[in-house]
Structure 1
Amino acid sequence: MDILSLGEKIKKLRKEKNMTLKELAGDRITAAQISHIERDKSHTSYELLDYLSRKLEVSIDYLLETKEMQSKKITDNLILRSEIYIKSNELDKAEQLINQVLQICKEYKLLDKNGKCNFLLGSINLKRENYALVVNNFEKALYFFIKNNDKENIFKSYLNIGKIYVKEEFYKGAISHFEFAEEVLSESQIEDMDIHKDLYGNMANCYIKLNKSKKSLEYIEKINKIDRQNNMQEEVDMLTLKANNFLNIGKYDDAKECFKKALELLEIEENKAGIVDVYLTISDIYKELGDINKVLEYSHKAYNIKKDDEDEYASKSLYKIIAAYLENKDFESARIYCKMALAFSIKSKNKFNEYKALELFSDIHKAQNENNLAIEYLSKCIKIISDLGDNNTLAKIYIDLGQLYANISKEKELEYYQKGVAIYQTLNII
């Protein structure tokens, strides 16, 4: 990965082939002339370069590449490698590569790469939840993107800063940056509708937090309009398989196009999760508005995207569906989806999700005044949570059991209340 002058390249190649100066010179020139060339003390003709390239078994283009040209190619590939590391959550490796790029950029004055590097550092700090640094990184990136009129990355920077402000519950600041992002989006040629939905979902969420329901629903309608226009189902399994194949190639330094394809495939999967997040956010908005049918609609949309993956997003969607059916008193539907959630958790060996599914079964029976069955399911939760060592949740289960025993056994009611309170006291909660 060294950035070499013409002379340094020739010397390196000669050494790799165990050739002496005289052997490389042959009958064409003298060993002294080769020595001068290797020390960049003399210029070479095209004919001599042709001779040297054949002797060293490389292309003339390789020999002619300047340090600046090499630095651009190397930084391009390092950036792509770092992006793959970020997607794979190997954040320290990604940060190390980006710092290498920044050093090369400084040495060879490649200012156009500074924006991308700062953006990637922001992405790393976002995954690390270091939000103060994230905003600083994205604001630095914005400076360079605006300077280069890079609309797509200007949009992404505003969007990401807005998302940080949402996490910090600074909704007015978030809306301000989302509006900047929306303005850039309207001026650009960004056609990826998932990007539009991500922005509109975040804006809808902020407006509902600011008690501006009408504005929130306007952006939900924009998402609905996109869904009506773009109803294509991604072949997730095939894309994931292709992504893994690209990542397994491993020829990072000389495979820029391979990096790009691998990255695109990884981003497709990431966008899928992003859209699920949007649908689940909309579901929460409608829950606050009291529209349970809409909660079900968007929770089902989220679940339909991720159901084949059987991951945390699928589970999260199922829990929202079950809670909505419970609120609508559709106990049969709630029970069906609860069975699915329990099957997912057992298959994935996720004990906490198994607990949540059992707790929902208990809630279903409790809502139907079947307290003995509710107690039975909640009692199964005790061992799971005890094994996980989650004392806070264990205390909650004991309190819930105390409430269920209220009209069954005063002795049991008091026993479980005391157990729950004792744990809360050890946790300094009460």
Structure 2
Amino acid sequence: MQILTLGEKIRKLRKEKNMSLRELGGDYVSKAQLSYIENGKASPSIELLKYLAQRLDVDLEYLLATEKDQVKRYCRLWLEEMKVHVNLNNISDAEKMYKKIDKYAQKYDLTEILAENNLLMAKAYINVKLYDDALSNIQKSFYYYSKISNIEKVIEAIIKEGNIYTLKGLYEIALNKYRQAYTFYSQLPIKNLELESNILYNISTCYHILKDKKNAKKYAEEVLRIDNQLKDAKRYAQSLLKYASTLILNEEYAKAEEVLKKANKLLKKQEDKKTKAFIENNFGCIYLESGEYEKAYKHLMEAKQIKEEMNLDELPTTLFELYKYYLKIGEEEKALKQLESAIEFSIERKLKDYIVKGLDYYIEYLVNKKSYEKAIVKIKEQISILEKMEM
């Protein structure tokens, strides 16, 4: 990692361009003044910085970036690299990256980086079932997100903590965590119905396991009410199934049958060509992972064709798999074409999750190629797009 002062940046750029101090300054600034700036004995005005950025053909932002800004950028890149290790379950590599990020983030007081680093490390430990280690990282993440008042991320950390206790079979502790998450949810200035539904779904599940019939049904009804507002047929069908299970627990069999019929009717509407597209996509994923690339390609192209014909929002999921396919067979240009198509499609339709996923793949690709500057550009692009969408 190379952290440069303003003077060092100017000197480095000047030498790269084989430019003397006199050539850099021109008629605008003297050689002596530039020498003072390069040696850290003088600070330029913003106007002078703009001039130097133009002369050196570099973004003004690069010259303005403080030492802390530079470290933050490196940490962001390392987080992207760490995500790859987490997804591949390379726990030792993930731990090395975690320690590296933690060291610099602690030194420069990068609270948000510390929070993300711990949440990501928790995910890594969950993947390999090291639940106690994961809990330690989640609690640190909770502390850091609380410190910067990022309530949605605080809620995410608490839900993950609840999920771990559920996996450990400690349902009463898990229930307390989900209820704590719901308390924090009430503090959000703008409500996120999907998040609220997820919390209540988990609460209902815990009550169900604990045989609390009344509360299991009560919270399942709340989930049903919210999911009906979300206008997502598949999600609503799933919440109907959850509600039906609580009705069975309460021995309300006739009503449960009625709800199940409604759920079944909704699920049937999702079948036919759309269901076939999802099935073809899943076959493609399976064959891709097992190394049967010809079969994978055949199924993925079938899924792509159906999704394009039906104009489905889920098209990017298949394009992402085709991106992976082309990478595996060594055709990087075609791979990037699929990835760019997925991102473009997602931006056009304002599909936040797919935008983030697509740009994450792109950043991962660039990091693996050691194209760190390009990766930074992509990260900025991701932030800019999401900010414009007001998400």
Q: TM-score, normalised by structure 2?
A: 0.58
Does residue 206 (structure 1) correspond to residue 206 (structure 2)? The answer is: yes
Q: What does 1:139-218 correspond to in 2, within 5 Å?
A: 139-218=139-218
- 280 and 97 in structure 1: CA distance in 2 versus 1, 3 angstrom threshold: farther
- 85 and 348 in structure 1: CA distance in 2 versus 1, 3 angstrom threshold: closer
The one-letter code of the counterpart of 1:227 is: D
Deviation at 1:287, TM superposition (A): 5.9
2:105 aligns with: 105
2:338 aligns with: none
Does residue 89 (structure 1) correspond to residue 90 (structure 2)? The answer is: no
2:335 aligns with: none
| Cα separation, 2, equivalents of 1:310 and 1:121 | 37
SS of 2:87's equivalent?
coil
1:38 aligns with: 38
The one-letter code of the counterpart of 1:108 is: Y
2:117 aligns with: 117
| Cα separation, 1, equivalents of 2:40 and 2:25 | 16
1:225 aligns with: 225
The one-letter code of the counterpart of 2:223 is: I
1:380 aligns with: none
Deviation at 1:68, TM superposition (A): 2.5
Deviations 1:76-117 (A, max 9, x none): 5655x369748x924558766655543332232223432232
Deviation at 1:177, TM superposition (A): 0.7
The one-letter code of the counterpart of 1:29 is: S
Is 2:82–2:97's contact at 8 Å kept on the other side of the alignment? no
| Cα separation, 2, equivalents of 1:198 and 1:83 | 27
The one-letter code of the counterpart of 1:195 is: L
Is 2:162–2:174's contact at 8 Å kept on the other side of the alignment? yes
Q: Identity rate of aligned residues, in percent?
A: 26
| Cα separation, 2, equivalents of 1:2 and 1:276 | 53
| Cα separation, 2, equivalents of 1:309 and 1:128 | 32
| Cα separation, 2, equivalents of 1:309 and 1:167 | 31
- 46 and 114 in structure 1: CA distance in 2 versus 1, 3 angstrom threshold: closer
Q: What does 1:44-63 correspond to in 2, within 5 Å?
A: 44-46=44-46, 48-63=48-63
| Cα separation, 2, equivalents of 1:48 and 1:162 | 54
| Cα separation, 2, equivalents of 1:344 and 1:49 | 52
Unpaired runs of at least 5, structure 2: 288-391
- 65 and 174 in structure 1: CA distance in 2 versus 1, 3 angstrom threshold: same
Deviation at 1:72, TM superposition (A): 4.2
Deviation at 1:210, TM superposition (A): 1.1
SS of 1:3's equivalent?
coil
- 183 and 95 in structure 1: CA distance in 2 versus 1, 3 angstrom threshold: same
| Cα separation, 2, equivalents of 1:278 and 1:122 | 28
Question: More deviation in 216-225 or 136-145?
Answer: 136-145
Deviations 1:159-193 (A, max 9, x none): 11111111111111011111111111122235332
| Cα separation, 2, equivalents of 1:222 and 1:114 | 35
Unpaired runs of at least 5, structure 1: 235-271, 316-342, 351-430
SS of 1:149's equivalent?
coil
- 91 and 104 in structure 1: CA distance in 2 versus 1, 3 angstrom threshold: farther
Does residue 3 (structure 1) correspond to residue 36 (structure 2)? The answer is: no
The one-letter code of the counterpart of 2:142 is: L
SS of 1:188's equivalent?
coil
Deviation at 1:204, TM superposition (A): 1.2
| Cα separation, 2, equivalents of 1:12 and 1:218 | 66
Is 1:8–1:38's contact at 8 Å kept on the other side of the alignment? yes
1:134 aligns with: 134
1:385 aligns with: none
| Cα separation, 2, equivalents of 1:221 and 1:140 | 34
The one-letter code of the counterpart of 2:157 is: S
Aligned residues: 279
- 65 and 226 in structure 1: CA distance in 2 versus 1, 3 angstrom threshold: same
- 60 and 346 in structure 1: CA distance in 2 versus 1, 3 angstrom threshold: closer
| Cα separation, 1, equivalents of 2:233 and 2:132 | 37
SS of 1:187's equivalent?
coil
Q: What does 1:11-410 correspond to in 2, within 5 Å?
A: 11-21=11-21, 23-24=23-24, 28-30=29-31, 34-46=34-46, 48-73=48-73, 75=75, 79=79, 81=80, 85=84, 89-90=87-88, 92=90, 99-232=99-232, 291=253, 293=257, 294=259, 308=274
The one-letter code of the counterpart of 2:194 is: D
Deviations 1:98-151 (A, max 9, x none): 555433322322234322321222223223332112211111111222233322
2:305 aligns with: none
Question: More deviation in 144-153 or 18-27?
Answer: 18-27
The one-letter code of the counterpart of 2:65 is: E
Q: TM-score, normalised by structure 1?
A: 0.53
Question: More deviation in 198-207 or 93-102?
Answer: 93-102
Deviation at 1:230, TM superposition (A): 2.4
SS of 1:121's equivalent?
helix
Deviations 1:301-343 (A, max 9, x none): 67867984669xx89xxxxxxxxxxxxxxxxxxxxxxxxxxx9
The one-letter code of the counterpart of 2:30 is: I
The one-letter code of the counterpart of 1:193 is: L
Q: Larger Cα Rg: Structure 1 or Structure 2? A: 1
Is 1:201–1:282's contact at 8 Å kept on the other side of the alignment? no
Is 1:283–1:299's contact at 8 Å kept on the other side of the alignment? no
| Cα separation, 1, equivalents of 2:22 and 2:282 | 72
